[in-house]
Homo-oligomer: A and B are copies of this chain.
Amino acid sequence: MVRSCVHIVGGGVIGLACAWELSRNGHDVTVVAPSPGRDGASWVAAGMLAPVTEAQFGESALTALLLAGARLWPGFAAALEEAAQESIGYDTTGTVTVALDASDRASLDDLLAYQQSLGLEATRCSASECRALVPALSPTLRGGIEVPGDHQVDNRALLTALGAACRHGGVAFVESSVSAVGAGPELVLADGRRLHPDHVVLAAGTGLPFIGGLEGAGLPEVRPVKGHIIRVRPPSGPHAGAAPLLTRTVRGLVHGHSVYLVPRRDGSVVVGATVEERGDDTAVLAGAVHELLCDARAIVPGLDELELSEVAAGLRPATPDNTPRIGWTALEGVMLAVGHFRNGILLAPLTAAAVVDLLGERPVAPVIEALAPA
């Protein structure tokens, strides 16, 4: 294999996972990003690894990609924890999705039939079966679905571990944004500096449209899809509870709204997420926080007694068909790894492996080949 000098534009989970995998495969890697590990949607995310509960009608090709991504996770998690010498909170307990009203139950049954038609593992549960799995559920639910194959990772621990593994692996970091990409390839930084690697991987997420010089590269449109999220944790004061409220990811349909509650090992819970087409707007709005609290407490009433520790909003990078683009662009030496939308964390290991293969000019699987930029 030829050792190549690769510059990765973007410090989210895709950029860092690519950087680590490329460094493990002998490349000379630099990450160029304003704030690696804190950039973009990855830091705000919940960390669900959910190929089954993210399956949407009409997106069976995407579901196949998500399943391929999920299969890499156990090995990726073990190798990363070994390399970083840190836990990433990888948890394979499984997920329960519940329905609040009869209409939600009907929607969930339709979804279950679709999941089963794709051969996915999902089981219908009565309300009491759901509560046996998750005692904190509201007694008024209409039952749900158990999905043992949908897991989670602590996204912030993951980003921290990826940063550590990159540093241990000799990855360099240039904390700057990239204003343009030129032939060569060449990277022009915000402060005017110019870098000349052998190859560039554009993993800039919603930042992609702000990079100049890419007009003829055949890039997809990438739009920001806003998501609000809140984090709650057990209060430390006199009203602190003994047992954690949740030990398993809960998703819910609440009068037609989707909500999820992802518990962390420290007893905190990530509640998300809105899906809003509002352009580049990361203001935390009162109405969105209300909606999340309202929907989450409808399925897990005990949430009321947890401390609200964070409210945030992030922007997911989405392409017109909600599917990522991974592959060489029309610009010599410039590769793309963007548009992961709601599935960036799930798809990070698969994307990183694909980028390594593409750089090594090795054949990739058909699911990856299908993601090549037009």
Contact = CB atoms under 8 A, between A and B. Distances in A.
Contacts of A288: 304
Contacts of A230: 286
A134 interface: no
A213 to B, nearest CB: 25
A307 B289 CA distance: 10
B285 A306 contact: yes
A293 B308 CA distance: 14
A118 to B, nearest CB: 36
A235 interface: yes
A290 interface: yes
Contacts of A347: none
Contact of A286 (B232, B281, B284): B232
Nearest to A232: B286
Interface in A221-249: 230, 232, 235-239
A297 interface: yes
- Per assembly, the copies of the chain total 2
Contacts of A236: 283
Contacts of A285: 235, 304-308
Interface in A196-241: 230, 232, 235-239
Interface in A272-300: 278-290, 293-294, 297
A32 to B, nearest CB: 26
Nearest to A231: B286
Nearest to A271: B286
Nearest to A237: B281
Given A290-B294, A290-B297, A293-B290, A237 B283 contact: yes
A280 B232 contact: no
A303 interface: yes
Nearest to A228: B308
A113 interface: no
Nearest to A283: B235
Interface residues of A, number: 30
A286 B311 contact: no
A230 B308 CA distance: 12
Contacts of A294: 290, 294
Nearest to A307: B283
A239 to B, nearest CB: 6
Contact of A281 (B238, B279, B280, B283): B238
Contacts of A303: 286-287
A284 B307 contact: yes
A373 to B, nearest CB: 28
Contacts of A304: 285-288, 290
A62 to B, nearest CB: 30
Contacts of A235: 281, 283, 285
Given A236-B283, A285-B308, 16 more contacts: A235-B281, A235-B283, A237-B280, A237-B283, A239-B278, A285-B306, A285-B307, A286-B293, A286-B303, A286-B304, A288-B304, A289-B289, A289-B308, A290-B297, A290-B304, A293-B293
24 contacts: A230-B286, A232-B286, A235-B285, A236-B283, A237-B283, A238-B278, A238-B279, A238-B280, A238-B281, A239-B278, A239-B281, A284-B307, A284-B308, A285-B304, A285-B306, A286-B297, A286-B304, A286-B307, A287-B304, A287-B305, A289-B308, A290-B294, A290-B304, A308-B311
Give the top 3 A-B pairs by smallest Cβ distance, nearest first. Answer: A287-B304, A235-B283, A290-B293
Interface of A: 230, 232, 235-239, 278-290, 293-294, 297, 303-308, 311
